[in-house]
């Protein structure tokens, strides 16, 4: 029996539904592992289907195709290292989230997930069945226990595997990013190591899927909780981990420990990766956006340039009579700094035509929000027309503060296929702009330097839909608004809680009212990058019709 076990980790980026493509990625990883002398090549949770599949997994033909691909992979990869790969399984008429062990041309073990997450973005109890904890399987004489993702967030599965003879814990994951997630994972995995006394491998996938970003950050821990290897955050990687058997059992050799970026960089990288993968996986190559001269469109243009390259980003300035010379100048400077194309499409003529068409009907009314929103909707119309004509996906640019309180026009500035800053409050937009101006990384395809002019960051935000308009004419100052929203949305605090923190009750009630009555807009909004545990969509599911208000 060998005293060395070589495990190749495939921290890779599958695509939901691309069964043949994911199988090809698995074969490529196996080939690399065989050339490197691996005993086993491990891939993440539900790798053959991509993750999350949501209700796609309920289609029997899809499950059949996924299982057939795993069986074919086993046959094709008979002469070489064992493969561990995630996929669906059918057992006695029930559907499971499973981990397959492929050895010698066949499936030799199938581990079924025990704990099914049913919170935040997860709804696995709706589509999968739970199964009892199974014991370890054997690869080249080594007994390996595999808690699947959520199973490792609870103590019972790992402890049962240790009690039934597991010598190494291998945990395949589809764990999406949110702010602070790497430290949370590390703390939980240290707990599993301390409880079991076993070395542990935490293997996570990378890549964007709709609103979610899987950030990798795979790790290897030895008993006692010592970190022996850390794979990079957000980057695909193939890494060999060597375990050696000693008097106290198996221990991993030291490996490279990649630095986990701080949250400002991690959030920005998540936005860039989410957009790049959303484009690639949906078949788009180029984007456009309305560049207003304001801070939100400036950061979205920068994210797009970093994700796709400036040559694939079209910026469009859509001035009206209320657009200031400063906005013209600032939009032009942002586009020039990034190296993106800038087109100008004035909306004054279209605005006049719509006004004439509605003149008789609106004759006895006062101009107001309706006329302001016509401008936004005309911009949305123009941008969608350009998108249709040139096959460029339209990005929408509303930050989380605006999306929360409905300070956005449905079928206007909300038009678009993706919103990279949907889960970024306005106050974080300011700081993200400053971070990007001061930092550049090899994964950024846009230019280095202060690409967003200081005036764009410091000038008072304005929609410029009427003379001398400022956002704070309609909303509390953003530092106040965002603090209240974080209380109401992220922390589920009551009105009384926020008043006790020093906020004026009338202001809190106004924000609460705007938050609730804007649900219908968010229901129809474009998807966007998830950065927090309370992103608008799967994390926070509120009814559109809702008459309840907090009177505390």
Q: How far apart are CA 92 and CA 46, in angstroms?
A: 20
3-state helix, strand, coil split of the chain in percent (to 5) is 40, 20, 40
In angstroms, what CA-CA distances link 72 with 61, 86, 395, 461? 16, 14, 40, 57
Walk across the sheet containing 287-290 and list its strands.
341-344, 313-317, 287-290, 393-394
Q: How far apart are CA 323 and CA 240, in angstroms?
A: 57
Q: How far apart are CA 198 and CA 196, in angstroms?
A: 5
φ and ψ at 168, to 5 degrees?
-140, 140
Of 484, 431, 489, 453, the residue nearest 262 (C-alpha): 431
Q: Confirm if 289 and 295 have CB atoms less than 8 A apart.
A: no
Residue listed under structure tokens 């390259």: 309
Q: How far apart are CA 494 and CA 550, in angstroms?
A: 7
Give the dihedral of Cα atoms 182, 185, 191, 195; nearest 10 deg: -140
Catalytic entry in 45, 372, 402, 512: 45
Catalytic entry in 77, 149, 340, 408: 149
The 8-class DSSP code of residue 176 comes to B
Catalytic entry in 32, 71, 106, 113: 113
Q: Is 113 a catalytic residue?
A: yes
Q: How far apart are CA 181 and CA 266, in angstroms?
A: 10
Q: Confirm if 175 and 181 have CB atoms less than 8 A apart.
A: yes
Residues near 62 by beta carbon (within 8 Å), at least 6 away in sequence: 17, 49, 53, 56
Q: Is 45 a catalytic residue?
A: yes
Burial 76-109 (b: 16+ CB within 10 A, else e): bbeebbbbbbbbbbeeeeebbbbbbbbbeeebeb
The 8-class DSSP code of residue 310 comes to G
Q: Confirm if 532 and 427 have CB atoms less than 8 A apart.
A: no
Q: How far apart are CA 9 and CA 36, in angstroms?
A: 12
Residues near 460 by beta carbon (within 8 Å), at least 6 away in sequence: 470, 471, 472
Give the dihedral of Cα atoms 526, 343, 285, 214; nearest 10 deg: -40
Active site residues: 45, 113, 149
């Amino acid at each position: 029996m060998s005293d060395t076990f070589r495990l190749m980790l495939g921290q890779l980026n599958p695509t939901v539904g691309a069964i043949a493509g994911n199988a090809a990625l698995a074969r490529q990883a196996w080939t690399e592992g065989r050339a490197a002398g691996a005993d086993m090549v491990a891939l993440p949770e539900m790798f053959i289907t991509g993750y999350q599949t949501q209700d796609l997994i309920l289609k029997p033909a899809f499950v059949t195709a996924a299982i057939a691909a795993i069986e074919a992979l086993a046959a094709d990869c008979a002469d070489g290292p064992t493969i561990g790969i995630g996929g669906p399984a059918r057992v006695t008429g029930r559907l499971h989230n499973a981990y397959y062990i492929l050895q010698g041309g066949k499936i030799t073990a199938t581990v079924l997930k025990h704990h099914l997450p049913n919170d935040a973005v997860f709804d696995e109890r709706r589509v999968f069945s739970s199964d009892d904890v199974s014991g370890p399987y054997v690869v080249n004489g080594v007994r390996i226990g595999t808690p699947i993702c959520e199973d490792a967030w609870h103590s019972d599965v790992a402890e049962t595997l240790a009690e039934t003879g597991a010598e190494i814990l291998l945990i395949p994951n589809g764990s999406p990013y949110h702010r602070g997630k790497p430290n949370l994972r590390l703390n939980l995995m240290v707990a599993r190591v301390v409880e079991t006394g076993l070395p542990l491998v935490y293997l996570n996938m990378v890549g964007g899927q709709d609103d979610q970003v899987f950030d990798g950050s795979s790790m290897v821990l030895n008993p006692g909780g010592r970190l022996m290897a850390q794979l990079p955050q957000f980057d695909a990687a193939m890494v060999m981990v060597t375990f050696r058997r000693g008097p106290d059992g198996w221990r991993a050799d030291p490996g490279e420990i990649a630095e986990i970026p701080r949250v400002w960089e991690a959030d920005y990288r998540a936005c860039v990766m989410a957009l790049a993968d959303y484009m690639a996986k949906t078949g788009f190559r180029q984007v456009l956006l309305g560049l207003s001269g304001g801070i939100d469109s400036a950061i979205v243009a920068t994210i797009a340039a970093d994700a796709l390259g400036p040559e694939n980003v079209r910026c469009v300035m859509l001035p009206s009579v209320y657009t200031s010379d400063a906005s013209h100048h600032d939009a032009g400077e942002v586009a020039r700094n990034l190296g993106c194309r800038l087109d100008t499409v004035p909306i004054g003529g279209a605005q006049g035509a719509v006004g004439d068409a509605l003149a008789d009907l609106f004759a006895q009314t006062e101009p107001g929000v309706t006329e302001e929103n016509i401008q936004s909707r005309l911009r949305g119309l123009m941008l969608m027309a350009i998108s249709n004509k040139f096959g460029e996906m339209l990005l929408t640019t509303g930050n989380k503060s605006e999306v929360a309180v409905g300070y956005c026009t449905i079928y206007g500035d909300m038009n678009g296929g993706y919103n990279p800053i949907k889960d970024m409050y306005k106050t974080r937009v300011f700081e993200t702009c400053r971070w990007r101006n001061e930092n550049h990384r090899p994964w950024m395809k846009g230019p280095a330097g202060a690409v967003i002019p200081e005036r764009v960051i410091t000038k008072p935000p304005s929609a410029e839909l009427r003379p001398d308009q400022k956002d704070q004419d309609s909303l509390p100052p953003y530092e106040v608004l965002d603090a209240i929203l974080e209380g109401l949305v992220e922390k589920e605090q009551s009105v009384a809680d926020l008043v006790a923190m020093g906020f004026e009750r009338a202001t809190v009630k106004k924000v609460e009212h705007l938050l609730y009555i804007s649900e219908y807009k968010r229901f129809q909004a474009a998807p966007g990058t998830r950065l927090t545990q309370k992103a608008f969509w799967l994390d926070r599911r509120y009814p559109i019709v809702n008459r309840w208000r907090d009177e505390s």
